[in-house]
Amino acid sequence: MTDNPEASLNWVAERAACSLAAIFGSLRSQIQQDVSERQALRPPSAPYGFRFQIPEVQSSPSFTVALDGNNLHRLVAFVLRDNKIEVIWDGVAKFEATPTINDEGKCRLKVGGIEREFWQVRRMALEALFFETI
């Protein structure tokens, strides 16, 4: 047995725990909380609202975040595919995220080859919907 801290990380177990399904479930919960918080921050007389929805019928696991208002409807979909999570804005693919373990042994997502924390991916997907479309 060695006292080398570098040898102590069980990267295989960490990567297995960083599965796409586990990440997707975490993102779903975190995004549902983001939507609740953004909805609560609307002015009392706001003519728009945000909603989180899991479709009843779906070919792939997915969920959506919608902005609805007077003559306004925007939709961001999160779809779990075989090896990635696709983020789709109003029917157009915005980006894809894939799981990875970084050099510190932390579970992260890669977007466009750049390692991101979960909150960064949520911001990339929802910032324009939450703050720039109204």
**DSSP output for 85-120:** EEEEETTEEEEEEEEEE-TTS-EEEEETTEEE-HHH
Residues 3-28 have pLDDT tens digits of 555 568 999 999 999 999 999 999 99
Q: Which two tokens stand for residue 105?
A: 């042994």
Residue with the bigger pLDDT between 55 and 1: it is 55
Provide the residue ranges of all domains of the chain, joining segments of one domain with +.
Answer: 5-131
Residue 1 has pLDDT above 60, yes or no: no
Report yes or no: 85 and 24 within 8 Å, Cβ to Cβ: yes
Percentage of the chain exceeding pLDDT 90:
84
Higher pLDDT, 3 or 122: 122
**pTM score of the predicted model:** 0.89
For the ranges 2-16, 35-49, 51-65, the lowest mean pLDDT is seen at: 2-16
